[in-house]
Amino acid sequence: MLDCEGQELRVPREQVAAVLRHGWALTAHQAAGRRWPGVVVLLPPEAAGELTRQWVYSAFNRAERHLSVVHAAGPALPQAVASAPARPRTTRLRGILAEQTADLGD
C-alpha cells in the first residue's frame, strides 16, 4: 500500500516491478560528490535568493545522462548562471597555520 497525498494506492505484489519506480530525494549538499544516470533539480521560488553559479553547476552536474529542471525561481536562475559570484569562504585556518609557523621559529 502507498499513500499518495492522503489516498491509499494498492498495487498487487506481482505488478510492483512493472508499475512502480523507486525514487529518492536529496538536497544538493547531500548529493555532493555523487552522480546518477538521471536527476531532477527542483528550484522553488524560495530558492531564488540562494542560487549561485557554483551551486547551479554542482546541482546540474549530478546527472550522467539525463537532467530535468523544474524551475520556478523566476529570473534568479539565469542571473545566477550569468553573474552571481559565490560568497567568499573564510575560515580561521590561515591564522592558525601562521601562528603555528611562527611558534616553530621561536
Q: What percent of the chain has pLDDT over 70?
A: 93
The architecture that CATH gives domain 23-88 is: 3-Layer(aba) Sandwich (3.40)
What backbone torsions phi and psi does residue 39 show, to the nearest 5 degrees? -135, 140
**Per-residue pLDDT reduced to its tens digit, 64-101:** 999 999 999 999 999 988 975 667 778 888 888 888 88
Q: Which residue has the cell 529570473?
A: 75
Cell numbers linked to 52? 549561485
Q: Is the pLDDT of residue 21 over 70?
A: yes
Predicted pLDDT of residue 101: 85
